[in-house]
């Protein structure tokens, strides 16, 4: 690389071009505009909205967030304004933001998922859909969509037939084989997959003998899950050829690079924004110097670039 030349940080997946591969993760970045005065949104790749459902949801009773060793347990309960209020009240402001928005979608039945996608299809200002498959399927006795390959396949197939935008399928880590789930999503027509969502966990207060979360169980995120997330991205990358958005515990630029080497085209940053609300921008700002230091001309060349040779 000519010393004065800046590394090319752009990445492309399912027809979307991002200025860099750092995306703010769903549920940790509101509806995007809440962060407008906190960080420079024109420095990040994109953001994913809080999960959107057909009807508004109040979420779970408190306490809903508990800090754990190197992480956090949350049981927010998918609180959101509902897709209609999102389109009417949030989307006009989102359209003015200087980075692409990805809409995170969920439901408790396939019909609900499709209804949300249908409502979003007609609206402007969304780059892609991210399907959160970590919800209990009320029609199948509460089985989580993302933990059964057949159910996931059916959900993705139907969602893809409705979606007029690229469909990213977000996988749950609470499975025996992430490769099987990645393949089910890809075979059903997913344009990309994102992983991982949170790990199911519990926090108990020994003194009171009570669970710390009102919901008892919650989703574990943050640095505590990074090695498992990296392993799952690596395994998914060997199972499918569609693009992968990797996440789970990313707090530094180097963490983001590690996920790209394991197989990710771009990455998402979630819990880190709780400790440092400017984390997404900070991580993105570190890419240019990191690439220059390592003589990387195009950051996209790092994807699946894990060196398996012994030293």
Ligand X SMILES: Cc1cc2nc3c(=O)[nH]c(=O)nc-3n(C[C@H](O)[C@H](O)[C@H](O)COP(=O)(O)O)c2cc1C
Binding letters toward ligand X, positions 209-248, x by CB under 6 A: ------------xx--x---------------------xx
Alpha-carbon span 252 to 162, nearest angstrom = 37
Q: For ligand X, which is the closer residue by CB, 283 or 296?
A: 283
Give the range of 20-28, 55-63, 140-148, 206-214 binding ligand X by CB under 6 A. Answer: 20-28
Alpha-carbon span 66 to 203, nearest angstrom = 8
Q: For ligand X, which is the closer residue by CB, 79 or 285?
A: 79
Interface pick for ligand X out of 270, 281, 282, 300 (rule CB under 6 A): 270
Closest residue by Cα to residue 120 from 110, 107, 105, 109: 105
Alpha-carbon span 136 to 284, nearest angstrom = 34
263 binds ligand X (CB under 6 A): no
104 binds ligand X (CB under 6 A): yes
78 binds ligand X (CB under 6 A): yes
Q: For ligand X, which is the closer residue by CB, 59 or 98?
A: 59
Q: Please state, as a whole number, how many other Cβ atoms lie within 10 Å of the Cβ of residue 178.
A: 22
Alpha-carbon span 53 to 51, nearest angstrom = 7
Contact 211, 202 (CB under 8 A): yes
Q: For ligand X, which is the closer residue by CB, 25 or 117?
A: 25
Class of residue 304 by CB neighbours under 10 A (exposed 0-12, middle 13-18, buried 19+):
middle
Footprint of ligand X on 155-184 (CB under 6 A) = 170
The tokens describing 21, both together, are: 């591969």
DSSP 303: T
Interface pick for ligand X out of 198, 253, 300, 303 (rule CB under 6 A): 198
135 noted as active-site residue = yes
Q: In whole angstroms, how far apart are CA 155 and each of 6, 96, 167, 253?
A: 42, 32, 12, 34
CB of 4 to ligand X, least distance (A): 35
Alpha-carbon span 129 to 109, nearest angstrom = 17
Q: For ligand X, which is the closer residue by CB, 97 or 229?
A: 229
Helices 253-262 and 226-239 meet at what angle, rounded to 10? 30
- The residue count of the chain comes to 311
Alpha-carbon span 168 to 266, nearest angstrom = 12
Give the pairing of strands 101-105 and 46-48: parallel
Q: Please state, as a whole number, how many other Cβ atoms lie within 10 Å of the Cβ of residue 299.
A: 22
Interface pick for ligand X out of 50, 54, 160, 183 (rule CB under 6 A): 50
Give the range of 73-81, 115-123, 144-152, 176-184 binding ligand X by CB under 6 A. Answer: 73-81
Which strand ranges, in their side-by-side order, compose the sheet holding 71-74?
A: 65-68, 71-74, 217-221, 199-202
Catalytic residue, chosen from 14, 99, 114, 135, is 135
Interface pick for ligand X out of 7, 21, 32, 51 (rule CB under 6 A): 51
Give the range of 202-210, 252-260, 269-277, 293-301 binding ligand X by CB under 6 A. Answer: 269-277
Give the range of 87-95, 264-272, 281-289, 290-298 binding ligand X by CB under 6 A. Answer: 264-272
CB of 199 to ligand X, least distance (A): 9
Interface pick for ligand X out of 128, 163, 239, 250 (rule CB under 6 A): 250
Give the range of 256-264, 267-275, 281-289, 293-301 binding ligand X by CB under 6 A. Answer: 267-275
Residues catalogued as catalytic = 135
**Binding residues for ligand X (CB under 6 A):** 25-28, 50-51, 72, 74, 76, 78, 104, 132, 170, 197-198, 221-222, 225, 247-250, 269-272
């Amino acid at each position: 690389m000519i010393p004065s030349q800046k590394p090319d940080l752009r990445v492309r997946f399912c027809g979307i071009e991002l200025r860099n591969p750092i995306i703010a993760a769903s549920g940790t970045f509101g509806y995007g505009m809440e962060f407008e005065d906190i960080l420079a949104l024109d420095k990040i790749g994109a953001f994913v909205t809080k999960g959107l459902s057909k009807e508004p949801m109040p979420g779970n009773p408190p306490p809903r967030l508990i800090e754990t060793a190197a992480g956090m347990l949350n049981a927010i309960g998918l609180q959101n304004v509902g897709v209609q209020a999102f389109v009417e009240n949030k989307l006009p402001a989102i359209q003015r933001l200087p980075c692409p928005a990805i809409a995170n979608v969920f439901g408790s039945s396939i019909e609900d998922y499709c209804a949300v996608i249908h409502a979003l299809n007609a609206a402007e200002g969304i780059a892609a859909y991210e399907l959160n498959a970590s919800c209990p399927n009320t029609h199948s006795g509460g089985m989580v969509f993302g933990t059964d390959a057949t159910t996931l396949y059916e959900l993705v197939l139907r969602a893809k037939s409705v979606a007029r935008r690229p469909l990213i399928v977000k996988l749950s880590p609470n499975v025996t084989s992430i490769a099987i789930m990645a393949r089910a999503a890809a075979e059903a027509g997913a344009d990309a997959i994102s992983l991982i969502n949170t790990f199911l966990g519990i926090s108990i207060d020994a003194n009171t003998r009570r669970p710390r979360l009102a919901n008892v169980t919650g989703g574990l995120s943050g640095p505590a899950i990074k090695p498992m997330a990296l392993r799952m991205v690596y395994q998914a990358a060997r199972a499918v050829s569609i693009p992968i958005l990797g996440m789970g515990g990313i707090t530094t630029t180097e963490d983001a690079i590690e996920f790209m080497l394991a197989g990710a085209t771009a990455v998402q940053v979630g819990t880190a924004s709780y400790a440092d609300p400017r984390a997404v921008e900070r991580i993105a700002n570190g890419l240019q110097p990191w690439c220059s230091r390592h003589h990387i001309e195009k950051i996209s060349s790092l994807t699946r670039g894990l060196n398996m040779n012994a030293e």
